[in-house]
Amino acid sequence: MEERMYGVVLWADARDRKAVIWCEDHGSLAFYSGPEPSAHQGMDIDAGDLIQFEIREERDFRRARNLRRVDSGFAPDLPDKLRRSGGIGQPGNVVAFPTAHAC
């Protein structure tokens, strides 16, 4: 089952066309692996970009497809905030999902 969701890019590699995305539902991270590069398709995304995408639950992970950038540089400090929070699941280490976008 696929649905549309918003997320913030935590890490992206433009050359390999891959990204890790923090999803607005606070579920598991989503992984993006873009199509083979060509002169006519694809989109460069960077850490901190707000994107909308289709998400599909696969056996062991969530896959993001059909990315659409909503706001470039929406939350540029988010990856650093998450690194400084001390780790996932640690009490008192809460980082809120950015909510200043218009859905």
Question: pTM of the entire structure?
Answer: 0.73
Strand partners, 56: 2, 63
DSSP state of 74: S
**Number of neighbouring beta carbons within 10 Å of residue 49:** 23
Domain limits, the chain:
2-77
Tens digit of each residue's pLDDT, the chain (103 residues): 568 999 999 999 988 889 999 999 888 999 999 775 544 355 688 999 999 999 999 989 999 999 999 998 888 887 777 777 665 555 555 556 666 544 4
Question: Tell me: domain 2-77, CATH 3.40.50.2300, correct?
Answer: no
